[in-house]
Chains A and B, each alone.
Chain A
Amino acid sequence: MPAPGPPIGMLAELTYRCPLQCPYCSNPIDLLKANRELDTGTWLEIFAQAADLGILQVHLSGGEPTLRRDLEDIVAALSKRAVYTNLITAGVNLDGQRIGALAAAGLDHVQISFQGASAEVTELIGKYKNGFEKKLQTARLVREARLPLTVNAPIHRHNIHQVADFIDLALQLDADRLEIANVQYYGWAYLNRAALLPALADVERQVEIVEAARENLKGILNIDFVTPDYYADYPKPCMGGWAQDAFVVIPDGTMLPCHAAQTITSLEFDNLVDKPLAEIWQSSSAFEKYRGFDWMHEPCRSCPRKELDHGGCRCQAFAVTGDAAATDPACILSPHHDALRQVAEAAVAEKSTEFSYRRI
């Protein structure tokens, strides 16, 4: 296999601490395992290595990344290397001064998650008192600091009826982008599948609303739509392909090919405390395992769509079939495709609202 090219993007999960407890969180269920956090110096060293390797964008995430007091130093260091910085925050613990300091450090973009388009739903999902008000306030402060804003709306059964409201909210907050992101079922979200999966009729209505809004709001609001897998005919592409364009670093310094990769229990991952970043990127077993196309079985191996979707998501294949090299069950050509549909239908019929809220 030819050596991989330089990666473009990096997701840095700086901490697993978070004031919210969203049951759709994609963080691993066993949060304690990687709860040990790197110190500032180690993170700065990792980011320097990432910039040397060719990283152009860093997404600062978590948990809640603003709980790290050294976030400004991290942003400043990345900015000095001309790396584009994107802060992904729940937006409940930021004041104007902090946002000003981050902007001054060179932050390029802020994404705030909204668990609902109303106070009730936001609180039901995030389990954080007055979360909605705080998020609105943070969004306004972000715009006052002249930073561009993305409103991120993770969609599931309990807020899918609010899609039109999310669009209004994004406009009202002068957001540049809106992400209507149907929840992907890894980590806590997988555990909570039965309480989160939406009904097909609601999904179809959502698609109509989003498509119409995209047309009407051309040039006014960018709407990115992450469609729901469980009712799809074909899978979403796995990033740019496994270990092709991007990687993830979690709070304890473990480097992953994607944020849910640890759910594939057959893989072993290296830690940046022990090994250089370039070496892990180029030759670690977890990165090599599903790189390119050689690992594929049928029906993917001879499928003309494989360059498009890379056989879909390895983590979803593993979660549903037990084999991470299997065709993503979201694909109509997977023998597990009907089973996936049935899981969704059973979940909707059951009407469960029993969440396991995320906690460490």
Chain B
Amino acid sequence: MRKRLMVTPDTVPRLPTHVRLQFDELRGKWVVLAPEKVLWPDEISVDILKRCDGKDPARDIVNGLAQEYAADRSEIEADVIEFIQDWSDKRLLTCEV
């Protein structure tokens, strides 16, 4: 049986094929389409999701975001990991270790 995945800095997250992040031209915002769900992630969430490409571990995602927002990585790491855990728990992100 499947197990709940506990996200660490080594976890490599990606959007599963049936969860789509796309830009909605009509409304001018990013949208996530998933089974029976339509979500409107905020700007930072979109930035995280775009980096969940199945190649970079969470650690690198944090580094990238820290650079982009000129923030201290230690300040944002916990939030990013928590976000990935939350989305993984909702089965909106697939994670590999």
Interface residue ranges, A against B (CB under 8 Å): 6, 8-9, 54, 56-57, 82, 84, 86, 108-109, 111, 146-148, 150, 171, 174, 176-177, 218-222, 224
**Residues of chain A with a CB closer than 8 A to B18's CB:** 108-109, 147-148, 176
A224 in contact with B91 given A6-B27, A148-B16 (CB within 8 Å):
no
User: CB within 8 A of B91: which of A54, A86, A219?
Assistant: A219
Bitwise, B18-38 to A at CB < 8 A (1) or not (0) is 101010101100010101101
What is the interface of chain B mostly: helix, strand, loop, or mixed? loop
| Count of A-B contacts judged by CB separation below 8 Å | 58
What is the interface of chain A mostly: helix, strand, loop, or mixed? loop
User: CB within 8 A of B35: which of A6, A109, A146?
Assistant: A109
Please state if A176 and B91 are interface contacts (CB–CB under 8 Å).
Answer: yes
Please state if A219 and B89 are interface contacts (CB–CB under 8 Å).
Answer: yes
Given contacts A8-B38, A108-B33, A150-B36, 20 further A-B contacts (CB under 8 A): A54-B24, A54-B26, A56-B31, A56-B33, A56-B38, A57-B33, A57-B38, A86-B36, A108-B20, A109-B36, A111-B35, A148-B18, A148-B35, A177-B91, A218-B89, A219-B4, A219-B5, A220-B4, A222-B91, A224-B36
Q: In the complex, what residue of chain B is closest to A147 when comparing beta carbons?
A: B18
A171 in contact with B1 given A82-B22, A109-B18 (CB within 8 Å):
yes
**Residues of chain B with a CB closer than 8 A to A218's CB:** 4, 89
Q: In the complex, what residue of chain B is closest to A82 when comparing beta carbons?
A: B22
Interface size class of B (residues with CB under 8 A): 20 to 34
User: Complex Cα distance A116/B89, Å?
Assistant: 27
User: Does B74 count as interface, using CB distance less than 8 angstroms?
Assistant: no
User: Complex Cα distance A111/B36, Å?
Assistant: 10
How far does the Cβ of A35 sit from chain B's closest Cβ, in whole Å? 28
User: Complex Cα distance A86/B20, Å?
Assistant: 13
Please state if A54 and B27 are interface contacts (CB–CB under 8 Å).
Answer: yes
Interface residue ranges, B against A (CB under 8 Å): 1-5, 16-18, 20, 22, 24, 26-27, 31, 33, 35-36, 38, 88-91
User: Complex Cα distance A148/B35, Å?
Assistant: 8
**Residues of chain B with a CB closer than 8 A to A111's CB:** 35
Please state if B20 and A84 are interface contacts (CB–CB under 8 Å).
Answer: yes
User: Complex Cα distance A6/B27, Å?
Assistant: 9
**Residues of chain A with a CB closer than 8 A to B16's CB:** 148
Q: In the complex, what residue of chain A is closest to B35 when comparing beta carbons?
A: A109
User: Complex Cα distance A222/B1, Å?
Assistant: 15
Q: In the complex, what residue of chain B is closest to A172 when comparing beta carbons?
A: B1
**Residues of chain A with a CB closer than 8 A to B17's CB:** 146
**Residues of chain B with a CB closer than 8 A to A222's CB:** 90-91
How far does the Cβ of B7 sit from chain A's closest Cβ, in whole Å? 10
How far does the Cβ of A11 sit from chain B's closest Cβ, in whole Å? 12
**Residues of chain A with a CB closer than 8 A to B2's CB:** 171, 174, 220-221
**Residues of chain B with a CB closer than 8 A to A6's CB:** 26-27
**Residues of chain B with a CB closer than 8 A to A220's CB:** 1-4
User: Complex Cα distance A56/B37, Å?
Assistant: 10
Give me 13 A-to-B residue pairs in the complex whose CB atoms sit less than 8 angstroms apart, sorted by A's number.
Answer: A9-B38, A54-B24, A54-B26, A56-B31, A57-B38, A82-B20, A82-B22, A86-B35, A147-B18, A176-B18, A177-B35, A177-B91, A218-B89
User: Complex Cα distance A111/B18, Å?
Assistant: 13
How far does the Cβ of A291 sit from chain B's closest Cβ, in whole Å? 19
Please state if B3 and A84 are interface contacts (CB–CB under 8 Å).
Answer: no
**Residues of chain A with a CB closer than 8 A to B31's CB:** 56
**Residues of chain A with a CB closer than 8 A to B20's CB:** 82, 84, 108
How far does the Cβ of B60 sit from chain A's closest Cβ, in whole Å? 23
**Residues of chain B with a CB closer than 8 A to A148's CB:** 16, 18, 35
Please state if A176 and B35 are interface contacts (CB–CB under 8 Å).
Answer: yes
Give the one of A56, A86, A146, A177 with max B CB within 10 A. A56
User: Complex Cα distance A8/B33, Å?
Assistant: 11
**Residues of chain A with a CB closer than 8 A to B91's CB:** 176-177, 219, 222
Q: In the complex, what residue of chain A is closest to B22 when comparing beta carbons?
A: A82
